[in-house]
Chains A and B, each alone.
Chain A
Amino acid sequence: MEVLLALMIGILYATGIYMMLRRSLVKLIIGIILLGNGANLLIFFLGRITKGAPPIIPGDAKVFSEAFADPVPQALILTAIVISFGLQSFAIVLVKRAHTVVRTDDLDEMNATDEDS
Chain B
Amino acid sequence: MRTTIILKTASNYLLPVLLVFSVFILLRGHYLPGGGFVGGLIAAIAFILHAFANGLPNTKELLVIHPGFLIPVGLSISFLSGLAPVLFTDMPFMTGLWSHDPVAILGYVGSALFFDIGVYLVVVGVTLTIIFTISESA
Are A and B a genuine interacting pair, yes or no?
A: yes
- Pair count A-B, CB < 8 A: 16
Q: Tell me the complex Cα distance, A93–B133, Å.
A: 8
- In the complex the two chains form, is A96's CB within 8 Å of B31's CB? no
Interface size class of A (residues with CB under 8 A): 10 to 19
- In the complex the two chains form, is B133's CB within 8 Å of A82's CB? no
List residues of chain B with CB within 8 A of the CB of A92: 134
CB distance from B28 to the nearest CB of A (A): 12
Partner of B31, one of A59, A78, A89, A93: A59
- In the complex the two chains form, is A89's CB within 8 Å of B130's CB? yes
Q: Which of B88-128 contact A (CB under 8 A)?
A: 126
- In the complex the two chains form, is A93's CB within 8 Å of B32's CB? no
Number of interface residues of B (CB under 8 A): 9
How would you classify the secondary structure of chain B's contact residues: helix, strand, loop or mixed?
helix
- In the complex the two chains form, is B37's CB within 8 Å of A93's CB? no
List residues of chain B with CB within 8 A of the CB of A63: none
Instruction: Check A56 for interface membership: any CB of B closer than 8 A.
Output: yes
List residues of chain B with CB within 8 A of the CB of A54: 33
Q: Tell me the complex Cα distance, A49–B39, Å.
A: 28
- In the complex the two chains form, is A96's CB within 8 Å of B37's CB? no
CB distance from A56 to the nearest CB of B (A): 7
Instruction: Check B3 for interface membership: any CB of A closer than 8 A.
Output: no
Instruction: Check B4 for interface membership: any CB of A closer than 8 A.
Output: no
Interface string of A75-117 (1 = CB under 8 A from B): 0001000100010010011001000100000000000000000
- A-side residues, CB < 8 A to B, are 54, 56, 59, 78, 82, 86, 89, 92-93, 96, 100
